[in-house]
Structure 1
Amino acid sequence: MNDTTHGNGIRIRPGTPADAPTVLDMLDAAVAWMNARGNTEQWGTTPYSQKPGGVARVERYLTVNTPYIAELDETPVGALVMDSGPSPQTPITPADEPERYIRLLVSRRDYAGLGIGTALLAHAAEETRQAGVELLRVDCWAGGEGRLVAFYRRHGFTPTERFLSQTWPGQVLARRVG
């Protein structure tokens, strides 16, 4: 897919392995932002780049999966990683039809309110549609009074299965894009 431009001048381009430090910085900043607001359950308290397997996971996202980077004025402000299904390391049941699965959605909190997540989700839906696939799914943390689940619902996703990964409550959501 070529670059696309969305509302507020957000440009989305394919990601490359060279984007790994940028994505890790976004993830580290997201952990710090959540922790500053009392959320230590969603992603824990350890910076993502220091978690066992964190760097390797991001490198895999940018080489094995399908990554996209959102930019404003050439500054990376968000990342989206898609795949053909959920990670086999999760307790999530694969769909019984072709699907596209959002493995990662993150944006820089200092650019909050500009529609970065919205633009990335619209991009995911369009990529899914262009692939001739009708089902787009994502999973997220179901704690925190369900605020993240509500975010995805506002973007056309419907909750499907709940799951527990050790003590971490998760929710799978689906959206039809055909």
Structure 2
Amino acid sequence: MDKQNGSPAIRPGTAGDIPAVLAMFDSAVAWLARHGRTGQWGGQALHRRSAPHRAGDPWAAAEALARGVGLLRVDCYAGDDGRLVAYYESCGFTRVAPFRVKDWPGMLLQRRL
């Protein structure tokens, strides 16, 4: 948090942030697994895996604009019922191209700012 105004502060991540980031992902994996949605990240906690994972952030628009960036791109899981793709579309992203990584269906989306 920003000490002056109490709002969230954006800063570069450090190696010291890894445990907190993994804990957030592990919480998301547990929630998805409880709701029968294991197709995206499986049912195993991320901190027990060796492969890296990426996540898009539709709230990055303000930071992108402040840095002079006019286009955001994200990729996400496009399997199951497609709700994650629909979520990003509800945030103003449009579909660019589907892709597959082995059996994992993905979608590339973009949002012009």
TM superposition score category, shorter chain reference? 0.7 to 0.9
CA distance, structure 1, for counterparts of residue 58 and residue 40 of structure 2:
20
TM value normalised by structure 2: 0.83
TM value normalised by structure 1: 0.55
**What SS does the corresponding residue of 2:69 show, helix, strand or coil?**
coil
Q: Of 19, 24, 28, which residue of structure 2 is paired with 1:26?
A: 24
RMSD: 2.2
**What SS does the corresponding residue of 2:8 show, helix, strand or coil?**
strand
Q: Of 89, 93, 99, which residue of structure 2 is paired with 1:157?
A: 93
Q: CA deviation at 1:10?
A: 6.0
The residue number in structure 2 matching 1:130 is 66
147-156 vs 14-23, greater mean Cα deviation: 14-23
CA distance, structure 2, for counterparts of residue 37 and residue 26 of structure 1:
17
Q: CA deviation at 1:41?
A: 1.2
Deviation per residue, 1:125-154 (Å, 9 max, x gap): 122222222110001011121111111111
Tell me the number of residue pairs that the alignment of Structure 1 and Structure 2 aligns: 109
Q: Is 2:58 the partner of 1:121?
A: yes
The residue number in structure 2 matching 1:16 is 14
Question: What code does the residue aligned with 2:55 have?
Answer: L
- Change in 2 beyond 3 A, CA 1:48/1:155: same
**What SS does the corresponding residue of 1:46 show, helix, strand or coil?**
coil
Question: What code does the residue aligned with 1:121 have?
Answer: P
CA distance, structure 1, for counterparts of residue 87 and residue 32 of structure 2:
16
CA distance, structure 2, for counterparts of residue 147 and residue 10 of structure 1:
30
- Change in 2 beyond 3 A, CA 1:39/1:162: same
Alignment check: 8 A CA contact 2:55 2:75 kept:
no
Q: Of 40, 44, 55, which residue of structure 2 is paired with 1:104?
A: 55
CA distance, structure 2, for counterparts of residue 104 and residue 10 of structure 1:
23
Which consecutive unaligned segments of at least 5 residues does structure 2 have?
none
CA distance, structure 1, for counterparts of residue 88 and residue 23 of structure 2:
23
CA distance, structure 2, for counterparts of residue 36 and residue 131 of structure 1:
39
Q: Percent identity at matched positions?
A: 45
Which consecutive unaligned segments of at least 5 residues does structure 1 have?
4-8, 58-102, 106-119
Q: Which one has a larger percent strand, Structure 1 or Structure 2?
A: 1
- Change in 2 beyond 3 A, CA 1:132/1:13: closer
